């Protein structure tokens, strides 16, 4: 097993990670626009991309407070490599990196409802207040859950969350 951090995925890695099924994230029907990730963490098994976590840095607004976050997205494990704890292992590495190498106070992700328990088991907290995202049609409430993970001693404040851009 090897983990690499890159700014771009190769075509071969993209195909391995995202080309194994139709609508692998289960979000196509929502027709959302997504932001590109800036850094890609890829776990390789026998030289082939098996699991992936994408990240970006941003600031969100909660009430009147600005909060720096490490956005987590495109968390995926290749179909034939699932049920082996690879995503959990890779996410743990990415969170350690974010704590040590970024100014972010929180990890922040969007996920399908069936995945909420998986993330909660790793310490992520489901946001109860609305999360507003941008789309080309305008600002809207996120149709999927958002979760945060403290990277410092900071506590997530109550209130509506405004992304000010596309979700990731």
CATH number of domain containing 110: 3.40.630.30
Q: Is residue 137 part of a domain?
A: yes
Comparing CA positions, the residue from 92, 56, 62 lying closest to residue 160 is 62
Strands in the chain per DSSP E: 2-6, 39-45, 48-62, 65-77, 106-110, 125-126, 131-135, 138-141, 146-150, 161-162
Q: Is residue 168 part of a domain?
A: no
Q: Is residue 167 part of a domain?
A: no
pTM metric for this prediction:
0.93
Q: 21 pLDDT band (50/70/90 cuts)?
A: confident
pLDDT attached to residue 95: 98
Q: Which residue has the tokens 């098996």?
A: 50
Domains held by the chain: number? 1
Q: Is residue 31 part of a domain?
A: yes
Strand partners, 13: none
Domain of 146 in residue numbering reads as 2-162
Q: 126 pLDDT band (50/70/90 cuts)?
A: very high
């Amino acid at each position: 097993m090897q983990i690499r951090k890159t700014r771009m995925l190769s075509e071969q890695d993209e195909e391995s990670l995202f080309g194994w099924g139709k609508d692998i994230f289960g979000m196509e029907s929502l027709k959302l626009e997504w932001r590109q990730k800036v850094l890609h963490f890829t776990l390789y098994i026998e030289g082939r991309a098996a699991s992936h976590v994408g990240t970006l840095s941003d600031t969100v607004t909660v009430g009147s407070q600005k909060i720096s976050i490490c956005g987590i997205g495109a968390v995926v494990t290749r179909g034939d490599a699932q049920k082996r704890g690879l995503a959990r292992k890779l996410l743990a590495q990415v969170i350690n990196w974010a704590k040590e190498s970024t100014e972010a106070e929180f990890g922040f992700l969007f996920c399908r409802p069936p995945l909420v328990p998986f993330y909660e088991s790793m310490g992520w907290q489901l946001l109860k207040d609305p999360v507003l995202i941008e789309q080309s049609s305008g600002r809207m409430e996120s149709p999927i859950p958002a979760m945060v993970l403290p990277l410092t001693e900071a506590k997530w404040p109550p209130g509506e969350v405004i992304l000010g851009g596309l979700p990731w």
